[in-house]
């Protein structure tokens, strides 16, 4: 029999003719009712010297992808690699599992890689692989840890992750089929896996963007090539989750990814048990960060607890109520599994995950809270209140200005603090209007300022017996206006001046 499995840009499952799909989450190929496997749980791959020259990125990543399948706990499988001494034409029936690349024009549109599967009864015989030399016209990304945004949007400039695609195709070469296989009924619940048929398969794991074989694929490998060994513990937080399109993984995200303070959003998460033992009451703690790195020092926003059996994959959404006041700009939500490290795991670097696209906190237009009437005297400088915004964190930064105010009054453009060096007394209230402007809008607020005349005759800031003495001493005299006890500026000290001092007696003008 001759098969081929195609990794495509979109979620298109390959046709698996003459092979029965299993009812498990993973799929594999059978001859009759017997799984088709490699004798001795070992397969040798023959590498094109032109595509995989010694020391090249392609060679390193391909060998690393082989290793990912070899280290799955509870399974025993081994890949050997042999570099051909020259380029050989692909022959799907010669018993040599060749690996090469061809021009994209020789493959179906959107094809990234193909594995041709040929069996001899229940044993694999030849599993040639062909990769596109320049997929989609944008090429390959050869990063060991490709970031989730690069993986999610390979076109038009990022390139496709060769590491991810090679790991997927090597899963076919050892006998695993697509997951899901493509004939599931509508509404079928599927989970991310290395063998998802649409790029980027299961995507990387953890915020360090580690390429690993996912939980469902590990279960499939253990079913085909069961092994023994010490129990291994390994929990992982995936950077991708399933979508409504079967087989197409998407980055974990906040939905919606724009919000105002006080709104709700949902954090999409996916966690897996890569190990071979169960864990009860696993803590899964959530954080919000100002940068795309989730650490335990970030703001703790809550936690869940899970019971996880080997091979478990949990995909879910957690509702988050945003703070009533948050600074505008990007926020990264993320989580850490077993943040207290109560479970000794073989790998601890895949426990933290961060949403690939930050949540954008939108900025509100400024709203100034009402300002009560203010009081001053003409004795010395007046320093007014600092205006207060309804959402000071979110509405900042603010540019302040005075729209209306008496001559000489100023405002600090950064803080809104108002000052008047020489207030002028008036029997009428001054109307003062301040304006707050940010990148979104502006708002004005008007308040009133009463400025009284200070009846301090001696100039010490306190109206006391010394002031009354001055008035009485000059009573009935003409004096320079505003001096020698003339409190009302008439140039004559009379009964009105005595009344003014007595009315304010004991008060301070400062």
Asked whether the predicted pLDDT for residue 388 surpasses 90, the reply is yes
How far is it, in rounded angstroms, from Cα 433 to Cα 27? 72
Clarify whether residues 421 and 339 are in a common domain.
Answer: no
How far is it, in rounded angstroms, from Cα 429 to Cα 450? 5
Clarify whether residues 180 and 52 are in a common domain.
Answer: yes
Q: Does any domain span residue 232?
A: no
How far is it, in rounded angstroms, from Cα 314 to Cα 271? 5
Instruction: Please provide residue 217's backbone torsions phi and psi, each rounded to the nearest 5 degrees.
Output: -70, -35
How far is it, in rounded angstroms, from Cα 461 to Cα 467? 10
Q: What is the span of the domain harbouring residue 495?
A: 465-503
Q: Does any domain span residue 240?
A: no
Containing 121, the helix (H) or strand (E) segment is none
Which of 305, 334, 231 is CA-nearest to residue 274? 231
Asked whether the predicted pLDDT for residue 122 surpasses 80, the reply is yes
Q: Does any domain span residue 394?
A: yes
- Token pair of 199 as six digits: 């790029």
Q: Does any domain span residue 440?
A: yes
- Token pair of 161 as six digits: 């992750």
Question: Using 50, 70 and 90 to split pLDDT, how confident is the model at 216?
Answer: very high
Clarify whether residues 392 and 499 are in a common domain.
Answer: no
Alpha helices by DSSP H, 264-420: 392-395
Q: CATH code at 430?
A: 2.60.40.60
Instruction: Note the pLDDT of residue 332.
Output: 96
Clarify whether residues 429 and 282 are in a common domain.
Answer: no
Which of 115, 165, 141, 168 is CA-nearest to residue 4? 115
Clarify whether residues 15 and 84 are in a common domain.
Answer: yes
Clarify whether residues 438 and 478 are in a common domain.
Answer: no
Is the CB of residue 453 less than 8 Å from the CB of residue 482? no
Burial class (CB in 10 A: 0-12, 13-18, 19+), 174: buried
Asked whether the predicted pLDDT for residue 10 surpasses 80, the reply is no
**pLDDT, tens digit, 9 for 90 and up, residues 11-42:** 222 222 222 233 358 999 999 999 999 999 99
**pLDDT, tens digit, 9 for 90 and up, residues 482-508:** 788 777 878 887 888 788 778 778 767
Is the CB of residue 269 less than 8 Å from the CB of residue 371? no
What total number of domains does the chain contain?
A: 4
**The last residue of a domain, from among 430, 452, 474:** 452
Mean pLDDT of the chain: 90
Instruction: Note the pLDDT of residue 7.
Output: 41
Residues in Cβ contact with 157 at an 8 Å cutoff, skipping those fewer than 6 apart: 138
The three state secondary structure string of 147-180 is: CHHHHHCCCCCCCEEHHHHHHHHHHHHCCECCCC
Clarify whether residues 181 and 311 are in a common domain.
Answer: no
Clarify whether residues 57 and 161 are in a common domain.
Answer: yes
**The last residue of a domain, from among 361, 384, 408:** 361
**The last residue of a domain, from among 298, 329, 361:** 361
Residues in Cβ contact with 189 at an 8 Å cutoff, skipping those fewer than 6 apart: none
Instruction: Note the pLDDT of residue 496.
Output: 80
298 or 497, greater pLDDT: 298
Clarify whether residues 13 and 146 are in a common domain.
Answer: yes
Q: CATH code at 29?
A: 3.40.390.10
Clarify whether residues 146 and 49 are in a common domain.
Answer: yes
Residues in Cβ contact with 105 at an 8 Å cutoff, skipping those fewer than 6 apart: none
Tell me the pTM. Answer: 0.81
Instruction: Note the pLDDT of residue 24.
Output: 52
Cis peptide bond N-terminal to 123, omega within 30: no
Clarify whether residues 83 and 212 are in a common domain.
Answer: yes
Q: Does any domain span residue 420?
A: yes
How far is it, in rounded angstroms, from Cα 426 to Cα 429? 7
Q: Does any domain span residue 429?
A: yes
Clarify whether residues 140 and 41 are in a common domain.
Answer: yes
Instruction: Please provide residue 205's backbone torsions phi and psi, each rounded to the nearest 5 degrees.
Output: -120, 135
Q: Does any domain span residue 95?
A: yes
Question: Using 50, 70 and 90 to split pLDDT, how confident is the model at 242?
Answer: very high
Asked whether the predicted pLDDT for residue 8 surpasses 60, the reply is no
Strand, coil or helix: 123? strand
Q: Does any domain span residue 234?
A: no
CA distance readout (Å), 176 to 249, 312, 392, 446: 18, 19, 56, 73
How far is it, in rounded angstroms, from Cα 212 to Cα 221? 14
**pLDDT, tens digit, 9 for 90 and up, residues 396-451:** 999 999 999 999 999 999 999 999 999 998 989 999 999 999 999 999 999 999 99
Q: CATH code at 327?
A: 2.60.40.10
Instruction: Note the pLDDT of residue 462.
Output: 82
Question: Using 50, 70 and 90 to split pLDDT, how confident is the model at 186?
Answer: confident
How far is it, in rounded angstroms, from Cα 168 to Cα 140? 15
Is the CB of residue 161 less than 8 Å from the CB of residue 200? yes
């Amino acid at each position: 029999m001759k098969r081929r499995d195609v990794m495509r840009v979109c979620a298109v499952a390959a046709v698996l003719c003459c092979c029965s799909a299993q009812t498990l989450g993973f799929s594999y190929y059978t001859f009759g009712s017997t799984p088709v496997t490699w004798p001795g749980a070992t397969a040798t791959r023959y590498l094109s010297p032109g595509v995989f020259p010694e020391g090249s990125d392609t060679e390193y990543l391909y060998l690393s992808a082989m290793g990912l399948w070899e280290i799955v706990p509870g399974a025993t499988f081994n890949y050997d690699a042999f570099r051909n001494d020259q380029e050989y034409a692909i022959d799907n029936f010669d018993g040599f599992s060749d690996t090469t690349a061809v021009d994209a024009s020789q493959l179906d549109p959107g094809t990234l890689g193909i594995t041709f599967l040929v069996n001899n009864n229940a044993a694999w015989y030849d599993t040639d692989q062909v990769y596109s030399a320049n997929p989609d016209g944008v090429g390959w990304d050869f990063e060991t840890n490709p970031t989730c945004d690069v993986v999610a949007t390979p076109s038009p400039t990022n390139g496709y992750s060769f590491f991810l695609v090679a790991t997927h195709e090597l899963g076919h070469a050892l006998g695993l089929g697509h997951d899901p296989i493509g004939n599931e009924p509508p509404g079928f619940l599927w989970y991310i896996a290395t063998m998802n048929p649409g790029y980027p398969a299961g995507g990387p794991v953890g915020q360090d963007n580690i390429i690993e074989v996912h939980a469902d694929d590990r279960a499939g490998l253990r079913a085909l090539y069961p092994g023994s060994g010490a129990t291994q513990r390994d929990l992982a937080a995936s950077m991708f989750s399933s979508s409504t399109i079967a087989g197409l993984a998407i980055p974990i995200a906040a939905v919606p990814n724009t919000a105002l303070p006080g709104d709700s959003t949902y954090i999409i998460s996916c966690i897996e048990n890569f190990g071979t033992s169960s864990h009860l009451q696993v803590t899964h703690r959530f954080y919000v960060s100002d940068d795309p790195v989730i650490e335990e020092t970030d703001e703790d926003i809550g936690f869940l607890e899970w019971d996880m059996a080997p091979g478990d994959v949990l995909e879910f959404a957690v509702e988050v109520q945003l703070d009533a006041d948050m600074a505008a700009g990007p926020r990264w939500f993320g989580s850490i599994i077993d943040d207290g490290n109560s479970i000794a795991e073989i790998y601890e670097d895949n426990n933290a995950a961060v949403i690939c696209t930050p949540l954008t906190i939108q900025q509100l237009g400024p709203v100034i809270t009402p300002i009560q009437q203010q009081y001053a005297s003409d004795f010395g400088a007046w320093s007014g209140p600092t205006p207060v915004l309804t959402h000071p964190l979110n509405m900042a930064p603010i540019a302040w200005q005075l729209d209306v105010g008496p001559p000489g009054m100023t405002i600090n453009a950064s803080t809104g603090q108002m000052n008047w060096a020489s207030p002028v007394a008036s029997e009428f209230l001054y109307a003062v209007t301040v304006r707050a402007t940010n990148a979104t809008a502006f708002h004005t607020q008007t308040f009133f300022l009463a400025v009284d005349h200070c009846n301090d005759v001696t100039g010490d800031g306190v109206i006391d017996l010394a002031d009354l003495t001055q008035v009485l001493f000059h009573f009935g005299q003409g004096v320079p206006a505003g001096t020698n006890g003339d409190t009302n500026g008439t140039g004559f000290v009379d009964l009105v001046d005595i009344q003014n001092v007595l009315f304010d007696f004991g008060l301070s003008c400062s």
